[in-house]
Amino acid sequence: MLWPGTLIGAGAGFAIASIPGAMLGALLGQALDRRMHLQSWGHLRERLGGRPMLRNDELLFVLLGRLAKSDGRVTDGHIQQARHEMRALDMGEPAQRRAIAAFNRGKSGSDNLRGYLRRLGAQPHAAEGVLRACWRMVWADGRAGVSERELLAQWGKWLGWTTHQVQALAADYEPHKRPIVSAAVSYQEAMRLLGVSATSEPAQIKRAYRRLLSRHHPDKVAGSGATPAQVREATEKTRELHTAYTLIRERRDFR
């Protein structure tokens, strides 16, 4: 991992006072790196350009935004998937605003993400969760394009994953041929899935949906040591819950 301030300080110190200057310059540069959280030249360029560094909770949505835009057009499916991820993370309003801004920032494709992802690679569970969320975004429009696969392979490499390991996650999220909750499914069936009734208030329905989504979210299941088959089952369940919630929300006309 590069520490730009340390390298610059050492170089400037050596030019001024040889080896003792290099040592002092490196110490001062390291203090600057730590204070400004600089871990790569990309981070330094962002700071010099006045662009704020990404928070941990923003990085995911920058990645999702870049994937959504990678084929040139962001679809409604991509937008809905981003919203689904926000709900799954139980984000409050301020966090949602940051996530939306990060998603839009990701669409520009101007961030150097290598340093962020290499740092995240030190947290295996978090890294896997990010890759799984990225595959969910890839399949949001029903297909995985070449550019999307290439991006994920590169990001996986920076996270310390092999291309084979990254691609192996794709099967857990590839859309099945059969619909999970079709238009023919009744309003009553949707309520049964969420465990609510026709008299439940919108706030109760939202709480029930979020509670079930948190319980069955594939990232949580994967983190508990589940098998690939169990992760796929959890993925199907979350889609089923999302579709049921959407049906009830549209019928009851609430947000």
Per-residue confidence in pLDDT tens, the chain, 255 aa = 456 556 665 566 566 767 776 676 566 656 655 655 555 555 545 554 445 566 777 899 999 999 999 988 898 889 988 988 888 787 888 999 999 999 999 998 888 888 889 988 988 888 888 999 999 899 888 788 899 999 999 999 999 999 999 988 887 777 654 344 444 457 888 888 899 988 889 999 999 998 888 888 877 777 777 777 777 788 888 888 888 888 888 888 887
4 and 43 Cβ atoms separated by less than 8 Å: yes
The DSSP element (H or E) to which 28 belongs, if any, is helix 4-36
Query: 3-state DSSP call for residue 228?
Result: helix
Residues with Cβ < 8 Å from 94, sequence gap 6 or more? none
What is the dihedral angle through the alpha carbons of 210, 56, 121, 175, rounded to the nearest 10 degrees?
Answer: 40
Q: Which of 11, 37, 36 is nearest to 24 (CA)?
A: 11
pTM value is: 0.58
